[in-house]
Amino acid sequence: MPFETQIKSSDDLVGMWMLLVDREDGAGEKTKLPVLVESGTKHKFVLSFKNAAGAKKFLKESDTEDGVPMMVVKGNAMTMIETARTLGADGILIDYDASTQRYGGASLLPQV
Residue 36 CA to residue 34 CA, distance in Å, equals: 6
Question: Residue 1: which pLDDT band, with cuts at 50, 70 and 90?
Answer: very low
Q: Are 79 and 85 in contact (CB under 8 A)?
A: no
| pTM attached to this predicted model | 0.84
Tell me: pLDDT of 52 over 90: yes
Could you tell me the CA-to-CA distances from 71 to 8, 19, 38, 50 in Å, in that order? 18, 9, 22, 10
Model confidence over 74-84: pLDDT tens digits? 999 999 999 99
Tell me: pLDDT of 17 over 80: yes
Model confidence over 19-36: pLDDT tens digits? 999 887 777 888 889 999
Q: Are 4 and 109 in contact (CB under 8 A)?
A: no
Could you tell me the CA-to-CA distances from 87 to 4, 60, 68, 92 in Å, in that order? 22, 24, 18, 13
Question: What is the model's pLDDT at position 72?
Answer: 93
* The CATH fold of domain 10-108: Trna Endonuclease; Chain: A, domain 1 (3.40.1350)
| 9 vs 42, more confident | 42
Average pLDDT of the residues in 2-29:
76
Question: Residue 3: which pLDDT band, with cuts at 50, 70 and 90?
Answer: low
Model confidence over 54-74: pLDDT tens digits? 999 999 888 777 889 999 999
